Amino acid sequence: MNKLPLQFWAVAALVVTGYAQADHCATNLASVQNAANQAPSVQPNVLSAVEALVPAALEACGKEELAMTGAESGSPMLAPDYVSVGQSMLINAADLLNGQ
């Protein structure tokens, strides 16, 4: 049974329902959700960091999606291996939940 505090799940639900999920960040957000589901417990400082990172990351992802839509052909941000700021924040949140 998952022992994450109720506050985390409330924030997670708000984040998932309150923000549009930018396509380029969807995989990373799923990684955060999987890490949260698999975490037996989370230290309070980790929880605080994740609660701050995820909403900020999703806001960044939305802005980046708009920038990518208007990017010129050949722009580095359109490269398949490009990692955006929002993606990086979500990767860090998942790593924190995984104890890394």
pLDDT, tens digit, 9 for 90 and up, residues 12-36: 654 554 444 457 898 999 999 899 8
The pLDDT tens digits for 37-84 are 888 888 889 989 999 999 999 999 989 988 988 989 999 998 989 999
Evaluate if residue 11 carries a pLDDT over 70.
no
Please tell me the distance from the alpha carbon of residue 92 to that of residue 100, in angstroms, as a whole number. Answer: 9
What is the band of 85 on the pLDDT scale with cuts at 50, 70, 90?
A: very high
Domain ranges of the chain: 6-97
Query: Are the C-beta atoms of residues 41 and 4 closer than 8 Å to each other?
Result: yes
Query: Are the C-beta atoms of residues 64 and 22 closer than 8 Å to each other?
Result: yes
The answer to pTM > 0.85 is: no
- Name the residue among 21, 29, 5 with its Cα closest to residue 88: 29
Measured in whole angstroms, the distance separating CA 51 from the mean position of its chain's CA atoms is: 10
